[in-house]
Copies of this chain bind each other. A is one copy, B any other.
Amino acid sequence: MITMRKMNVAIVGATGAVGTQMIKLLESSSLPLGNVKFLTSKRSAGKQLSFKGASKTIEELVPESFEGIDLALFSAGGGISAEFAPEAVKRGAIVVDNTSHFRMDPEVPLVVPEVNPEALRSHKGIIANPNCSTIQMMVALEPIRQAFGLKRVIVSTYQAVSGAGNQAMEELKQQTRDYLADKPVDQWQMEILPCGGDKKHYPLAFNALPQIDVFAEAGYTYEEWKMINETKKIMEDDTIKVSATCVRIPVMSGHSESIYIETEKVASVAEIQTLITNAPGAVLEDDPSQQIYPQAINSVGRKETFVGRIRKDPDEEVGVHLWVVSDNLLKGAAWNSIQIAEKMYEMNLFD
């Protein structure tokens, strides 16, 4: 008789927008859980969080927190991951990191379990969870790439505020109240958006902000470079042309994406619809005659990626347009991290 080893798990950033979802998902995970501990900065330590009906005290994150931990799920900002992920690995834990810190490290697998699970085998202790907007695009495009090849991706995003964290969500709510109370825009609460660490802050309520994360080379934001670079790494193909325009809109949760692709071989709409129907993690919602298409508001709380508005470019025979929606806190973050852990367990990579 085989005794299944219990797995001790730490969640770093347990009180954040993503951490909260990780806890919920861990409660119903197939992983054989042993001890589960919640770690945060000193500020939140001592507070209580519920897990499987019992109350748990949040502990302060220190290097020693990871003694005896098998799996550490990080979602507390790149700086925290940079400092503490190596400490966790040193103590024998496997780290699944939801920040961008390790994503482009050639030593670190960057994984969407439906797309490149085999990359997990080469891990050296840390596995990176891709950017939210990249993950859902990969779920939709990988089946098409496998069947028809993929030459080119041009994506414009419609991203929800929960990707910027709990405080940003509160800011959007407050701005919305300010709008309804006829308060002049310059008196709205503006402390975080579009990007907490940046110099200027703008209203998001009833607005669209073409800036997510700070600006980087060539006029692109980091968020845009993440989508460009992560796509090539996950698909293991540097020849795919990728460009992105990342935009924050006043939606609480659920990222939407208008994606244009060019395939190697000509694909029909019906063929792509069949691929999406059969793709792991994807759901086809595509019937213009019945006004069926993915909507951010319907994606909330769902683990799948929803794909619709599939149509051929009017002038380019290998060109196809799609509308892709997913809950950015789940498939875009917490769920993909838990899925990575479950997949690694299934592949015996914890031994």
Q: Which residues of chain A have a CB within 8 Å of any CB of chain B?
A: 152, 154, 156, 158, 173, 176-177, 179-180, 185, 194, 198-200, 202-203, 206-211, 215, 218-221, 228, 241-243, 245, 247, 249-252, 254, 256, 258, 260, 269, 288-291, 293-297, 308-316, 319, 321, 323
Contact = CB atoms under 8 A, between A and B. Distances in A.
Nearest to A309: B210
A228 B321 CA distance: 14
Contact of A219 (B211, B220, B288): B288
Given A177-B180, A228-B314, A312-B218, A256 B260 contact: no
A250 B156 CA distance: 17
Contacts of A321: 243, 245
Of listed A154, A194, A206, A269, residue having the most chain B CB within 10 A = A206
24 contacts: A154-B154, A156-B245, A158-B249, A176-B176, A199-B291, A202-B295, A206-B297, A207-B251, A207-B296, A207-B297, A208-B249, A210-B256, A210-B309, A219-B288, A219-B311, A219-B312, A220-B314, A221-B288, A242-B315, A243-B260, A243-B319, A250-B250, A258-B258, A260-B260
Contact of A180 (B180, B207, B294): B180
Main secondary structure of the interface of A (DSSP, over half): mixed
- 6 residue pairs, one from A and one from B, having the closest CB atoms: A219-B311, A241-B315, A156-B156, A156-B258, A215-B288, A207-B297
Q: How many chain copies does the complex carry?
A: 2
A309 B156 CA distance: 13
Nearest to A225: B314
A312 B252 CA distance: 31
B260 A154 contact: yes
Contacts of A209: 295
Nearest to A308: B210
Contacts of A310: 219
Contact of A291 (B173, B177, B211, B315): B211
Given A198-B291, A289-B215, A203 B247 contact: no
Contacts of A247: 158, 256, 258
Contacts of A308: 210
A208 B158 contact: yes
Contacts of A173: 180
A88 to B, nearest CB: 35
Contacts of A242: 314-315
